[in-house]
A and B are shown apart, each in its own frame.
Chain A
């Protein structure tokens, strides 16, 4: 919605179909009666007026400006439908182009003005951690090098990003993966005797698991004569194991049946099976065993009868064999993550609970990103006691408490509580901990560090000066690399690079090495802007990039050898900025050809935040090589397409931008011919500005710095907030852009202004509006 609005107001002069006044006439109320009412009663009331209100839309209910402002959603939808030509329906009388524009301009200007007084900071839906955030958070909480979230299902994307609260749903599958991930993380972070201990059972009656003599009776193997039950097991490592057999038997009155343990045919010990057959017992034998496959057996050594009373016979019923282990000695030293976390252990008779509370209080605070209550700690400590009841170690209990923490909604969701019920104020400033969390997930995609939590403890983050200082600190930290991996990878669609498959016949030079090089260049370039705190306008054009030999060869840049990337100053206007990155040019192409439309759309949507409306229903896409059709370059075919009136308006905006990049083929290499046709990279924008080369196109785009900064801020703010923007965010965007201009549009200036903005620091309570 906001985007549509920017099309109309912001960049209309350059990209739009025609110029529109940036401000409505003086009296808006007057305008409504004079301008709007006659038009809507003429074109809309038949379906959305006094007689009927199709779809619940009652446009006649607006009497003046004030009512329109109260019916924001309805009017915003009306403007969008008018813009996209969806309304009025095709078979109904249509407003003239001028009338339509007048109506749209009035609605959008009205909806965006006056917002700044309303102070609506918007409302972010409860956000769960996405995959990247989960991985980074685990890394920073535990200092372990595992990425458990790589096995989670994809996070859905909304508004161009995968961190949008509304879109991040939680399926049972994901919850199940959270449980498994929590187990893995706990075992990786904390050492416990049981972590590596497993229990393997071999059922005596199951011929797939054991071999032996005697006969199978129900669920046991009955040995009535000397014989054995054997199993084969591949011991995972050297160590202490316990061999177990569950058995019961009958003696002959003189002696009980005896079972001899054997490992690889060597007898180890003899067990007297005193348990009766109908009440079998477990008999255990601790034993060091080396890694590898071993044959395990119990042999019935005294089968037979009482010599005096032949009716009394010794026999034994074996239920199963078991191997438990390995029981590993405590490593010395313990892993760093363990030492960092397990700061207290109970003495021999010490209280588990006391030690657990000491360990869990600081841990839970870091995991939940806020102080925790005594009650919460008591409940977590109960998980430690659970291990005790199961006969397992204290450390195992700590692992369980970690698991419970990592599956808790307080960890998985970034909770921002509403003002208490009955709070008369519609909005509230976020608390210090909530700000710490917003800030660190914005710039690090990870959990707040100790310094942020300390400042929150001290109540200092609510001070915008401290908040901005912290934002700058976070930007300088290596963890800010997350902005590249998440923000840039989505803004520049780098993640789609792994999915493209250029046709190998046409593009034999494309391989995974080149694919990776393209991505690396884009990442390094983005990082350089952030790290060196350069102007974001350099995204449009810059005098440097990063190349290795492979990519330099692809670009035709001489003098770069070796596989490592290095900064290269560009001496020709062929490259520079994100428009001419091979990655950009490749992800906006089809496998077999370039797509000027996609490239034009990408520029409008991703760079300037002014996406063209979607094609009207029923419009056919570009057809290639139809019989009887003129053959020629893609450009010529598109021009035929554009001659249709229903396509012209939007394609006049998109196509010329794409034509300006036709000198780059579908994998971004420079070219002067397409097939046998000479490339024509000239174009004329709807504003009348024209260009002959990609460099001239870039020069025109660079002259639109204000619009670009607005589009870029829109993306960055969306990413920072985790919600789609609404018309009420427009004033914030204006403020951000104006303030950043004073600081030469440095990257940190934009970030600082976003962090300082109301949508970032405040929250509207639900229902309030």
Chain B
């Protein structure tokens, strides 16, 4: 008889979630017998905010432990023990380096890749693989979803994006290769369906298994189509078929994994469309991200809080002006105050996510103990468009490997932010010599 005892119903999505799941599921992760010491996987998330921040209200006045939380970081007070603040990191490839304007598009496309985006409005988009995708390609097979990409705003709907750069650059954080941005999910309902299945919540294994079998046959069929077609095409067109084929491989792996193991996650009520306000939308997406981490559906994620250069007004906190418009503040006090409000809203939402992870027990610790959440903007001051001394912080202890928690560290100016990603990749078991413009790794000790 089949072991189905780990099937779990998650109730009350978006409110409180009691999920005594991981403890009982621990052996499945560790791949070891119950007698072995429990080890919990490390998780890695990247959150991105556009248009820079008000740096004087972000950067702690003192270094080391015991720093006073500046206004923008103040919302993180309940998780400050898990908070490392890093000053001095730089995204050099976000700078023009001869390519002229387009700081927003470059900032987002460079932040996780450490590569200079090719300036093009369409043809030949090219930047580099992002840190999250690098890890997903190495260890993503271990979970149902190699990685999750979520966001709040759709890509641009019309018109040009930033100064001759394709919109792909200013609306995607994750790149699975130099030429392929990974689309993000912005619709809570669609994310829910993807994570927890869109069938009736109590639909059981056999229907789903049959559907998977059919899907596999269909994938076999179309893979053959694609392989034959590819042979008839020129190099540029072949690239499109490569995207297609690699998508097929990924889904096949997921189907295989699902049959083998952790397929019994069921969640409660599905969300109903996109919430009316920004902060509800972010919270709902964060709720599902937390669920996905708890249930070990994935260990790697990116969350784009708004597209780079976003001109969204934040009326719910009394800011009717467009964010990008405001970010060119010219040191005007009223504008700075409004940007600060937006910055604080963003960190409040970060705190919401981190506190949920902290409330989620896992073994002797919490999910936050076994995670690393990087929070960053590729622009420091929105008015100057500078890409050094970026606002950057890390939440979580990375399974005890991040020793900087509770401290503010200042790195020498122009230290590539990719050096931090390299240090995080090490802790995911994905160590590499170089990624993008990295020159080494920062010490998280």
**Which residues from chain A sit less than 8 Å from chain B, CB to CB?**
55, 84, 86, 89, 123, 125-126, 128, 151, 153-160, 162, 164-167, 169-177, 179-180, 182-183, 198-203, 205-206, 208-209, 218-220, 233, 236, 280, 319, 322, 379-380, 382-383, 386, 390, 400, 403-404, 407-410, 412-413, 415, 417-418, 489-490, 493-496, 498-499, 501, 503-506, 590-592, 605-606, 614-617, 619-626, 723-724, 765-767
B237 touches A125 (CB 8 A): yes
CA distance A328 to B123 in the complex (A): 51
Contact with A along B295-339 (1 / 0, CB 8 A): 000000000000000011101000011100100101110100000
B241 touches A322 (CB 8 A): no
CA distance A412 to B222 in the complex (A): 11
With A156-B181, A179-B218, A624-B332 known to touch, is A125 a contact of B240 (CB < 8 Å)? Answer: yes
Instruction: Give every chain A residue within 8 A of B243 (Cβ-Cβ).
Output: 169-171
Give the residue name and chain of the B residue nearest to A613 (CB).
B100
A408 touches B234 (CB 8 A): no
7 A-B interface contacts by CB (under 8 A): A157-B157, A171-B243, A175-B247, A200-B204, A390-B214, A614-B101, A623-B332
B203 touches A490 (CB 8 A): no
- Selected from A174, A177, A501, A614, the residue in CB contact (under 8 A) with B312 is A501
- Selected from A86, A182, A201, A386, the residue in CB contact (under 8 A) with B100 is A86
B190 touches A151 (CB 8 A): yes
Q: Is B78 an interface residue (CB 8 A)?
A: no
Q: Is B389 an interface residue (CB 8 A)?
A: no
Instruction: Give every chain A residue within 8 A of B158 (Cβ-Cβ).
Output: 157, 160, 162, 489-490, 493-496
B222 touches A404 (CB 8 A): yes
A504 touches B320 (CB 8 A): yes
Give the residue name and chain of the B residue nearest to A197 (CB).
B207
Q: Is B5 an interface residue (CB 8 A)?
A: yes
- Selected from B186, B236, B248, the residue in CB contact (under 8 A) with A175 is B248
CA distance A407 to B217 in the complex (A): 12
A617 touches B9 (CB 8 A): no
Segment touching A, from B22-30, B37-45, B160-168, B426-434: B160-168
With A220-B1, A404-B218, A591-B322 known to touch, is A409 a contact of B121 (CB < 8 Å)? Answer: no
A169 touches B320 (CB 8 A): no
B233 touches A383 (CB 8 A): no
The number of inter-chain residue pairs (CB within 8 angstroms) is 280
List B residues 170-220 near A (Cβ within 8 Å). 171, 176, 179-187, 190, 193-194, 198-200, 202-207, 210-211, 213-215, 217-219
Instruction: Give every chain A residue within 8 A of B331 (Cβ-Cβ).
Output: 626
B320 touches A505 (CB 8 A): yes
A319 touches B1 (CB 8 A): yes
The 5 A-B pairs of least Cβ separation, nearest first, read: A158-B122, A766-B234, A623-B330, A201-B204, A175-B247
Instruction: Give every chain B residue within 8 A of A220 (Cβ-Cβ).
Output: 1
Instruction: Give every chain A residue within 8 A of B9 (Cβ-Cβ).
Output: 208
A164 touches B199 (CB 8 A): no
Interface size on B, residues (CB 8 A): 98
A408 touches B240 (CB 8 A): no
CA distance A379 to B241 in the complex (A): 20
Instruction: Give min CB distance, A499 to chain B, whole Å.
Output: 7
B207 touches A199 (CB 8 A): yes
A199 touches B206 (CB 8 A): yes
Given A173-B183, A490-B157, A625-B334, 17 more A-B residue pairs with CB atoms under 8 Å apart are A86-B99, A154-B183, A157-B156, A171-B183, A176-B247, A179-B218, A179-B251, A199-B207, A203-B7, A206-B4, A209-B7, A383-B218, A383-B221, A496-B159, A614-B100, A620-B330, A724-B123
Instruction: Give min CB distance, A494 to chain B, whole Å.
Output: 7
Segment touching A, from B51-59, B224-232, B410-418: B224-232
CA distance A546 to B123 in the complex (A): 38
A501 touches B313 (CB 8 A): yes
B321 touches A591 (CB 8 A): yes
- Selected from A128, A505, A621, the residue in CB contact (under 8 A) with B240 is A128
B218 touches A151 (CB 8 A): no
A623 touches B328 (CB 8 A): yes
B229 touches A167 (CB 8 A): no
CA distance A104 to B66 in the complex (A): 60
B206 touches A201 (CB 8 A): yes
CA distance A524 to B92 in the complex (A): 48
CA distance A495 to B2 in the complex (A): 52
B183 touches A153 (CB 8 A): yes
- Selected from A183, A199, A590, A622, the residue in CB contact (under 8 A) with B204 is A199
- Selected from A206, A619, A623, the residue in CB contact (under 8 A) with B5 is A206
CA distance A166 to B122 in the complex (A): 6
With A153-B185, A591-B321 known to touch, is A203 a contact of B234 (CB < 8 Å)? Answer: no
B218 touches A400 (CB 8 A): yes
A167 touches B166 (CB 8 A): yes
Instruction: Give min CB distance, B1 to chain A, whole Å.
Output: 4
Instruction: Give min CB distance, B138 to chain A, whole Å.
Output: 16
Give the residue name and chain of the A residue nearest to B146 (CB).
A172
Give the residue name and chain of the B residue nearest to A618 (CB).
B385
B123 touches A153 (CB 8 A): no
CA distance A504 to B161 in the complex (A): 26
A166 touches B124 (CB 8 A): yes
CA distance A164 to B99 in the complex (A): 23
CA distance A92 to B156 in the complex (A): 37
With A208-B9, A496-B157, A590-B321 known to touch, is A176 a contact of B121 (CB < 8 Å)? Answer: no
CA distance A516 to B101 in the complex (A): 34
B4 touches A219 (CB 8 A): yes
Q: Is B235 an interface residue (CB 8 A)?
A: yes
Instruction: Give every chain A residue within 8 A of B186 (Cβ-Cβ).
Output: 153
Best-surrounded residue of B159, B320, B330 (most CB of chain A within 10 A): B159
Instruction: Give min CB distance, B250 to chain A, whole Å.
Output: 4
B155 touches A155 (CB 8 A): yes
Instruction: Give min CB distance, B112 to chain A, whole Å.
Output: 16
CA distance A377 to B156 in the complex (A): 40
Instruction: Give every chain B residue within 8 A of A501 (Cβ-Cβ).
Output: 312-313, 315, 320, 322
Instruction: Give every chain B residue within 8 A of A723 (Cβ-Cβ).
Output: 122-123
Instruction: Give min CB distance, B304 to chain A, whole Å.
Output: 12
Best-surrounded residue of A151, A379, A506 (most CB of chain B within 10 A): A151
Instruction: Give min CB distance, A433 to chain B, whole Å.
Output: 15
CA distance A591 to B163 in the complex (A): 21
Q: Is B132 an interface residue (CB 8 A)?
A: no
Instruction: Give every chain B residue within 8 A of A202 (Cβ-Cβ).
Output: 204
CA distance A279 to B321 in the complex (A): 70
- Selected from A174, A280, A626, A766, the residue in CB contact (under 8 A) with B1 is A280
A616 touches B100 (CB 8 A): yes
Give the residue name and chain of the B residue nearest to A167 (CB).
B122
Q: Is B67 an interface residue (CB 8 A)?
A: no
- Selected from A86, A182, A208, A494, the residue in CB contact (under 8 A) with B98 is A86
B240 touches A158 (CB 8 A): no
- Selected from A123, A386, A409, A503, the residue in CB contact (under 8 A) with B320 is A503
Best-surrounded residue of A151, A158, A202 (most CB of chain B within 10 A): A158
CA distance A620 to B329 in the complex (A): 10
Instruction: Give every chain B residue within 8 A of A499 (Cβ-Cβ).
Output: 157, 312
CA distance A182 to B214 in the complex (A): 12
Instruction: Give min CB distance, A585 to chain B, whole Å.
Output: 15
Instruction: Give every chain B residue within 8 A of A125 (Cβ-Cβ).
Output: 123, 236-237, 240
- Selected from A233, A407, A591, A765, the residue in CB contact (under 8 A) with B218 is A407
Instruction: Give every chain A residue within 8 A of B187 (Cβ-Cβ).
Output: 151
Give the residue name and chain of the B residue nearest to A625 (CB).
B332
B7 touches A206 (CB 8 A): yes
Instruction: Give every chain A residue within 8 A of B311 (Cβ-Cβ).
Output: 590-591
CA distance A490 to B219 in the complex (A): 35
Instruction: Give every chain A residue within 8 A of B207 (Cβ-Cβ).
Output: 198-199
CA distance A617 to B167 in the complex (A): 19
B244 touches A175 (CB 8 A): yes
B244 touches A156 (CB 8 A): no
A205 touches B5 (CB 8 A): yes
Instruction: Give min CB distance, B35 to chain A, whole Å.
Output: 19
- Selected from A175, A200, A206, A493, the residue in CB contact (under 8 A) with B159 is A493
A126 touches B233 (CB 8 A): yes
Instruction: Give every chain A residue within 8 A of B312 (Cβ-Cβ).
Output: 499, 501
